[in-house]
Amino acid sequence: MSKRQRLTTARRWVVKIGSALLTNDGVGLDRDAIAAWVAQMARLREEGMELLLVSSGAVAEGMARLGWTQRPHALHQLQAAAAVGQMGLVEAWESAFGRHGLHTAQILLTHEDLSDRQRYLNARSTVRSLLELGVVPVINENDTVVTDEIRFGDNDTLAALAANLVEADHLILLTDQAGLYERDPRQDPKARLIPEANAADRELDAMAAARGGALGRGGMATKIRAARLAARSGTCTLIAPGREADVLRRLRRGEELGTLLRANQAPIAAHKQWLAGHLQLKGRLTCDPGAVRALREQGRSLLPVGVKAVAGEFRRGEVVACVDEAGHEIARGLVNYNADEVRQILGQPSGRIEEILGYVAEPELIHRDDMVVF
């Protein structure tokens, strides 16, 4: 069965719709478009599918309500716009789904919710319970309280993490473009649409524009990164034209719309998906060539003897990156010692840990069971 044909048998989708689509390029919420997408999703629900919706648009809707024509840069203004816009956004989805007899649930997340293991598991349990009850979760970032930035990075990334959270069959990224082109079609009208590719293919990076539109924060580059993140749970990603008539149901039938980015890798364990999904790392360990080989080729744990340098301040149990001498990330995992302790024992054999620190927590800096290798 081809990857496109598998769309016809998929059981669980995460659908993400961007700001440009939802707000008709900024002129308030496009309720007619919302009604059309919901009608399609309602039909998919009747066919037995489970759907999670990741909805952009809170900031854009807030801007429209406040009469702002340009996206502000100040964090407090972005948060204010999100607070105003979230009211209209949630009401619009609830009303539209309600007309089809479907319940919705609002789930607002921050990066900390998915970085903390207990909160991550709680979020997963809640979402799965909602799906079992036939409810459509509507997921967004909790923009009004996030302090480091207004975003995870973009809602494409949030959607990919949601796909990991529930091990979705497909991640559907609806956009105002027809899909991924080999070159920017706005600059080259003859550019060819890429119908299908491996999400891990690095040639895709050169095809993607790094910047999004005036309202949204994503672009094709963020969608490719999201596809790679989603692939860790075996989820294939479709970048599809959201304004195409009946787009979701046509995708369900296996019609060749947009760009399919395949997940050509075996799903990694749920615990390691959580590790891989961390967007903010607490520190960095520079590994020597022998340690790099041991991690990549032999699936070994990271020992202090293979570490050359430490960067950052972290505590035991926090997530740190393992990098090679050129600074390329090769793995990440839960560290067994705090940063000051690692600085004391780096380059030393495990047998000297107790002599140096006065105790031994574990002989490894990072155990292979608590590590994901890239």
3-state SS, the chain, equals: CCHHHHCCCCCEEEEEECHHHHCCCCCCCCHHHHHHHHHHHHHHHHCCCEEEEEECCHHHHHHHHHCCCCCCCCHHHHHHHHHHHHHHHHHHHHHHHHCCCCCEEEEEECHHHHHCHHHHHHHHHHHHHHHHCCCEEEEEECCCCCCCCCCCCCHHHHHHHHHHHHCCCEEEEEECCCCCECCCCCCCCCCCECCEEECCCCHHHHHCCCCCCCCCCCCHHHHHHHHHHHHHHCCEEEEEECCCCCHHHHHHCCCCCCEEEECCCCCCCHHHHHHHCCCCCCCEEEECHHHHHHHHHHCCCECHHHEEEEECCCCCCCEEEEECCCCCEEEEEECCCCHHHHHHHCCCCHHHHHHHHCCCCCCCCECHHHEEEC
pLDDT, tens digit, 9 for 90 and up, residues 114-133: 877 788 888 899 999 999 99
Q: Tell me if 196 sits within 8 A of 2, measured CB to CB.
A: no
**CA dist list (Å): 121 to 113, 164, 317:** 9, 12, 17
Strand order in the sheet with 104-109: 104-109, 136-141, 50-55, 12-17, 170-175, 236-241, 259-262, 196-198
Per-residue pLDDT at 26: 62
The list of the chain residues with pLDDT below 50 reads: 149-151, 210-217
> Given this model, what pLDDT does residue 214 score?
43
Closest CA relative to residue 287, chosen from 321, 261, 240: 321
Residue 133 vs residues 123, 161, 340: alpha-carbon distances, Å: 15, 22, 48
Return phi, psi of residue 372, to 5°: -120, 130
Alpha-carbon span 283 to 336, nearest angstrom: 13
Dig out the tokens for 286 from the structure: 């520079």
Inter-CA distances, 152 with 131, 161, 265, Å: 24, 10, 25
What gap in Å lies between CA 294 and CA 45, rounded to an integer? 47
Q: What residues are paired with 138 via a beta bridge?
A: 53, 106
Residue 150 confidence (pLDDT): 38
- 52 touches 131 (CB < 8 A): yes
Domains and CATH numbers, the chain: 3-273 (3.40.1160.10), 281-373 (2.30.130.10)
**Nearest of 297, 305, 330, 334 to residue 319 by alpha carbon:** 334
CA 256/CA 264 separation, integer angstroms: 19
- How far apart CA 67 and CA 61 sit, in angstroms, is 10
Handedness of CA 365, 367, 368, 373 (dihedral sign): negative
Triad 92, 175, 255: Cα angle to 5° = 105
**According to the model, what pLDDT value does residue 103 have?**
97
The amino acid present at 337, given as its one-letter code, is Y
pLDDT at 149: 43
- Which structure tokens are listed for 293? 């080989």
Q: How far is CA 275 from each of CA 49, 76, 316, rounded to the nearest angstrom?
A: 28, 31, 15
